[in-house]
Amino acid sequence: MTLHTADTPAAPPYWLDEPSKPKLKLPRGACDAHVHVFGPRARFPFAEGRNYTPSDATKEMLFALHARLGIEHCVIVQPNCHGTDNRVTEDAIAASGQSYKGVALVRTDVSDSELKRLAAAGLTGARFHYMSHLSKSAPIDEVMVLAKRLANVGWHIQIHGEPDVLAAMAPTLKRSPVPVMIDHIGRVDASLRLEQPAFRALLALMQDKNVWIKVSGLDRITRAGPPYADAVPFARKLVAEFGDRVVWGTDWPHPNHTHKPDEGQLVDLIAEMAPSEAARQALMVDNPQRFYNFAPARKLHGAPK
């Protein structure tokens, strides 16, 4: 695994300059529950020893994308390349007036005072990575000890893990004292279809009403490529069976990706995973509002006039 330093040049952008405009009109108050902000590097330096160095993907670029897509609320997830210095995420949340919220990266020995400060800044949870291409988080048992303190500030834990890792930690996650959000459909392999053991294990974990999931990352679990026909059935089943505990996200600006997803296409796929207006209202508005408690939407600097 290559570790990057302050002098490492940035990778080319992982995103399209001009995504298509979606045909699907989203309900008012729609939320993109998984994005990242990178830089600007001159103001928010990347962490030493990170695993990747992206091009700047600023809050103004994010606001403009959301105006194009018809999105009013958002969850900004602190990216691994910025480490536990959450200022880049805090800055974007502040610019939104907390109509956007955030998920932090923290160490398990983070102080209670820092947790309270981050909570006041609009962060609502802590993310932990268990993916081979990223720096590993603390063992899940240590995360559960921290979770007792996260409960005091009303936070959740967000888990980004490979399917076998998620299956192994499922008994521990079911004991969590705070809600658990699973990233990107548990990173299952869409080519193995719905009957695969990894997806059955994920469905079993979702029987616990303390567990939520993001039907983001169709473009990451696919093995067929756009328009991700092999991945859509996984999202549709999760929405159908757990419609009150599922949220959606673009994963913009798509770090470490194999291709550049078209966000307009990702929005249009919502109609396939949530075919009814009621299902889309829950997925895009009611569920994220209940989970993240956004401030009222506002016009954001960087969005088109």
pLDDT band at 302 (very low <50, low <70, confident <90, very high): low
The tens digit of pLDDT for each residue in 133-149 reads 666 679 999 999 999 99
pLDDT band at 10 (very low <50, low <70, confident <90, very high): very high
The verdict on residue 40 lying in a domain is yes
Q: Write out the catalytic residue numbers.
A: 251
CB 186 within 8 A of CB 209: no
The verdict on residue 84 lying in a domain is yes
Mean pLDDT of 122-139: 86
CA 294, distance to chain mean position in Å, is 16
For residues 246 and 241, what is the distance between their CA atoms, to the nearest angstrom?
10
Question: Does residue 80 sit in helix, strand or coil?
Answer: helix
Domain containing 240: what range? 31-292
CB atoms within 10 A of CB 164: 13
CB 32 within 8 A of CB 63: no
Which of 290, 279, 220 lies closest to 251 in space, CA to CA?
220
CB atoms within 10 A of CB 180: 22
The verdict on residue 10 lying in a domain is no
pLDDT band at 105 (very low <50, low <70, confident <90, very high): very high
pLDDT at residue 135, rounded to an integer: 61
Which of 81, 78, 106 lies closest to 90 in space, CA to CA?
78
The verdict on residue 79 lying in a domain is yes
The verdict on residue 149 lying in a domain is yes
The verdict on residue 8 lying in a domain is no
Domain count, the chain: 1
Enclosing H/E stretch for 91: helix 87-95
The verdict on residue 187 lying in a domain is yes
The tens digit of pLDDT for each residue in 203-243 reads 999 999 999 999 999 999 999 999 999 999 999 999 999 99
For residues 21 and 170, what is the distance between their CA atoms, to the nearest angstrom?
39
The verdict on residue 14 lying in a domain is no
CB 138 within 8 A of CB 108: yes
Predicted model pTM: 0.96
For residues 97 and 100, what is the distance between their CA atoms, to the nearest angstrom?
7
CATH code assigned at 219: 3.20.20.140
Cis peptide before 288 (omega within 30 of 0): no
